Copies of this chain bind each other. A is one copy, B any other.
């Protein structure tokens, strides 16, 4: 019997997955969680064989849970189930050594098969994503450019960045400008977006 914990904030999908997994003879859903913290608690409490983690959840993301599980050397296998094919997410998932990364665009049967596969110790990846890994670009940004972009990401204005990093107004804008050009976009918002997508900041 494969014991599974499901963490997914959208009730309809969570309920549907649970109902369908229960129909499988070899799978048992031991707990459901609607947010990251609840998911963590459930995994600690039930020590399931496999956990399905959505990435974008309240209080703790699925990726954070995966990292923490790795840190405490918990043996629960992790399958990330997400809408997003962002290279940044995928990279973080690989760094956290997750056992599977599936898109919600896959059919349920694929998920069920994936649960059995990871239980056997195999790794599972949505087909589209294998290509995404090869297409991954290298980070063209310097340390300083990333610093500035990171602060800009938090919604800081140029002036606030200036006083945080002890630079002049012009210098900060200069880093942003070169980041914008290197990322081949035209505004700082787009630069933040792209850098975030690729897991560079």
Contacts and interface: CB of A to CB of B under 8 A. Distances in A.
A83 B10 contact: yes
Interface of A: 10-13, 15-17, 19-20, 81, 83, 104-108, 111
16 contacts: A10-B104, A10-B105, A11-B104, A11-B106, A12-B13, A12-B17, A12-B104, A12-B105, A12-B108, A13-B104, A15-B108, A16-B17, A16-B19, A16-B20, A19-B108, A20-B20
A17 B81 CA distance: 17
Q: For the complex formed by this chain, how many copies does it contain in all?
A: 2
Given A10-B83, A83-B10, A16 B104 contact: no
A179 to B, nearest CB: 20
A94 to B, nearest CB: 22
Contacts of A12: 13, 17, 81, 104-108, 111
A102 to B, nearest CB: 8
